[in-house]
Structure 1
Amino acid sequence: MESEPWKYEELSDVIEAMCTSKAEEFRLLGYEYVTGKDIWECVSSKYAKEGQPPLYKLVNDIYSLKATTYMNYLMLAAYRGIT
């Protein structure tokens, strides 16, 4: 049984809530200026080459994102001039 590809538009509120929750977690760890949008940009940046991941992978990537991974993403983005 194959699952249908999910549509970002249908789940955007749920995904936004997950990213906001992760940003709140980072703020509790002392990263004061992290937003849900920042989390989404970090997580979704690795899908540029792969394309849209399965929903379970997206959820796992958001909730398992580590602060060090996020900081590495910011540093690389700064070097590339993205942010």
Structure 2
Amino acid sequence: MKIGHEYDYFRTTVKPALESKLDEFRLLGYKIVTEQELWGYLTKKKWKKPKKNVRLFEIVEEIMEVKVSDYIHYATIEAFKEAEFDLDNEEERKKLLK
């Protein structure tokens, strides 16, 4: 049974690239995106099918290529998958509109 993602091995090594990308997100106004969320996007969406014998520079390049719009699109879809709001329930509707 496989635990984690194949590229998790590189995570600490590419941390500066992740931080740089998060800085870019913050400059564009997306201050609440965390390193964990960005890594989740990369492993679940961008690297869904990991390459064999991938090189470190390829991983860094793919991190730096992430567009804010691609991440936000992914995060929106994930939020819809997880959201279980009952719009008939007044309290849950108020939470949604906050």
**Kept after mapping to 2: 8 A contact 1:22/1:62:** yes
| Root mean square deviation, CA, Å | 2.4
For residues 7-63 of structure 1, what are the alpha-carbon distances to aligned partners after superposition, in whole Å with 9 as ceiling and x for unaligned? 743x33222221122111100110011122221111111233x13562343222210
Distance in 1 (alpha carbons) for counterparts of 2:65 and 2:7:
22
Structure 1 runs of 4+ aligned residues shifted over 4 Å read none
TM-score when normalising by structure 2: 0.62
Q: State the partner residue of 1:3.
A: none
1:30-41 correspondence to structure 2 within 5 Å? 30-41=29-40
Cα distance in 2, alignment partners of residues 72 and 57 from structure 1: 23
Q: Between Structure 1 and Structure 2, which shows a larger proportion of helix residues? A: 1
Q: Is the Cα–Cα contact under 8 Å of residues 19 and 35 in structure 2 kept in the other structure?
A: yes
TM-score in terms of structure 1 length: 0.71
Percent identity at matched positions?
A: 25
Gapped runs of 5+ residues in structure 2?
A: 1-5, 84-98
Q: Which residue of 1 aligns with 2:41?
A: 42
Q: Distance in 1 between matches of 2:12 and 2:43?
A: 16
Corresponding residue for 2:64? 63
